[in-house]
Amino acid sequence: MKRILAADIGGTTCKLGVFTPELELLDKWEIPTDITDEGSRILEDIHLSFESKAGSHEYSTEGIIGIGIGVPGPVDFNNGILNGAINLNWTEQMAIAAQFESISGIPAIVDNDANVAALGEQFKGAGSGHKDVVMVTLGTGVGGGVVSNGMLIHGHGGAAGEIGHIYVDYNRRFQCNCGKKGCLETVASATGMKNLALNYYENGVTETLLAQQIETDSLSAKSIVEAGEKGDELALKVIDEVAHYIAVALSSLSAVTNPKYFILGGGVSRAGRMLIDRIEAYYRPITFPPAYENTEIIMAELGNDAGIYGAARLVKQFLA
């Protein structure tokens, strides 16, 4: 039987899925990501895991249309080359597609993990039924993907959709992992929320439920959201500022891509309506009206499955 395979490689686990040619999910599971020895066994482990499921799902190498692979790093989509993935201990450029094909004999297509999550949400999740969406993942960092007319936008060097590096903090207060200051990631990720909370605390907002966590260096984005739900002044200032910066980034994206949906995912997005209502309040007054008309800001729906759905969709688009 014909099958499509999908892998979403993360620093802790690899999410794997088997799909029909019509992209019906038949099975999904996870395996640990072995990052020892510079991650040299990761691709082999994925191949062996799929082989172990071949009998139960009645497929052979010859019957596999292809595998889509999402990886946490910048990818040249045209040739499947990854330009390093620090949390996998992949420090050099790697021809991921070619390496997996050599290991397995299966045609492979590779993209950045945030991109495949965006495609998954557009195809099967919150953006289902619409061809133009932007996904913003608010986790430890800020990632994202832009889907236009049903296709991911990659750009000349594969950096399209790097939403976390839109310049929004003109005070340039915090250092970003990219080496710059002012990036959205420094003020809207889980790390960014901590940056802002510490900044407010050090500048006099000390009456807060978060004081002990700040003093003991145990502050988290989750605790900031929970304090905000209780009406804590410092937490609400942080959430409000995060919303403002996200709105500035979305406004710029609206003028370029004019999506139907902005889809928010990742841990920070669990702030839910408390965050989305504030984003909307800032977003519309600063955005070109024709660019936001009928645009909605919504929550992601697929959770950890977004990546495998998007990876399978890539196979359907380019290898089937």
pLDDT per residue, tens digit, the chain (320 aa), is: 899 999 999 999 999 999 999 999 999 999 999 999 999 999 999 999 999 999 988 888 889 999 999 999 889 998 999 988 988 999 899 999 999 999 999 999 999 999 999 999 999 999 999 999 999 999 989 999 999 999 999 998 788 999 999 999 999 999 998 999 999 999 999 999 999 999 999 999 999 999 999 999 999 999 999 999 999 999 999 999 999 999 999 999 999 999 999 999 998 988 999 999 999 999 999 999 999 999 999 999 999 999 999 999 999 999 99
Is residue 169 in a domain? yes
- Say if 289 falls within a structural domain: yes
Q: Report if residue 81 sits inside a domain.
A: yes
**What does the pLDDT read at residue 148?**
97
Which of 192, 147, 131 minimizes the C-alpha distance to 165? Answer: 192
Lookup result for tokens 């999904």: 28
Q: Which domain holds residue 21?
A: 3-119+304-318
176 in the same domain as 66: no
How many domains, in total, are found in the chain? Answer: 2
Give the number of residues written for the chain: 320
CATH of the domain at 8: 3.30.420.40
Cα–Cα dist 319/127, whole Å: 23
Report CA dihedral (157, 158, 159, 163) to the nearest 10 degrees. Answer: 160
Q: What pLDDT score does 157 carry?
A: 78
> Do 96 and 136 lie in a common domain?
no
- Looking at the fold, whether 68 and 173 belong to one and the same domain comes out as no
Dihedral sign (CA 297, 302, 304, 307): negative
Say if residue 102 is in the same domain as residue 203: no
- The pLDDT score that the predictor gives to residue 212 is 97
Nearest CA to 248 out of 283, 284, 277 is that of 283
Q: What is the pLDDT of residue 158?
A: 82
- Two structure tokens written together for 18: 């088997």
Q: Are residues 294 and 308 in the same domain?
A: no
Please indicate, yes or no, if residue 13 is contained in any of the structural domains: yes
89 lies in the same domain as 165: no
Stated pTM of the model? 0.92
Q: Are residues 73 and 192 located together in one domain of the fold?
A: no
In SS3 terms, the chain reads as CCEEEEEEECCCEEEEEEECCCCCEEEEEEEECCCHHHHCCHHHHHHHHHHHHHHHHCCCHHHEEEEEEEECCCEECCCCEEEEEHHHCEEEEEEHHHHHHHHHCCCEEEEEHHHHHHHHHHHHCCCCCCCCEEEEEECCCEEEEEEECCEECCCCCCCCCCHHHCECCCCCCCECCCCCECECHHHHCHHHHHHHHHHHHHCCCCCCCCHHHHHCCCCCHHHHHHHHHCCCHHHHHHHHHHHHHHHHHHHHHHHHHCCCEEEEECHHHHHCHHHHHHHHHHHHHHCCHHHHCCCEEEECCCHHHHHHHHHHHHHHHHCC
Best CA proximity match to 162, nearest among 187, 195, 123, 134: 134
Is 126 among the domain residues?
A: no
Are residues 48 and 98 part of one domain?
A: yes
Domain assignment of residue 125, yes or no: no
**286 and 178 co-located in one domain:** yes
CA angle 85, 144, 78 (to 5 degrees): 60
Q: Are residues 155 and 222 in the same domain?
A: yes
**124 domain residue, yes or no:** no
Same domain, 26 and 59: yes
Residues 96, 146: one domain?
no
**Amino acid in position 60:** S
CA 138 to chain centre: 7
d(CA 39, CA 87): 9
In terms of Cα–Cα distance, which of 19, 30, 58, 248 is closest to 136?
A: 248
Does residue 174 belong to any structural domain of this protein? yes
